[in-house]
Amino acid sequence: MKIRQGFISNSSSSSFLLMGMLLDKDDKRIGESEWGEPELGKLNFAYGIEKYHGSIVFGIGPDLMKDDETLLEFKQKVVDMFIEAGIECITDNISLCMDVGHY
């Protein structure tokens, strides 16, 4: 039997990388899209990740970081998006959320 440590990707897993924060799935500030998916302003989400016990991770991906943007500027952009969506936070609340979730 082989044991692999590190990143593993196959058809039964989904990976994500977001700069954002974890919110309780029952948070009243989280809306719902017309397809019944969680919604929070312009922020993307990853939902149902086992490690997070069904909580929702909201944030934006590093693909939206500008070439000349510092990490602090990028985190501030994420904070501003949370504030725009009605969630008060500061840069200390924002972290890099990375996982491979099995759906």
45-101 residue pLDDT tens? 876 555 556 688 889 988 889 999 999 999 999 999 999 999 999 999 888 876 654
Grade residue 102 by pLDDT with cuts at 50, 70 and 90: very low
Domain segments of the chain: what residues? 13-97
% of the chain beyond a pLDDT of 90: 23
> What is the full DSSP assignment across 21-83?
EEE-TT-TT-EE-TTS-EEBTTBEEEE--GGGTT-EEEEE-GGGS-TT--HHHHHHHHHHHHH
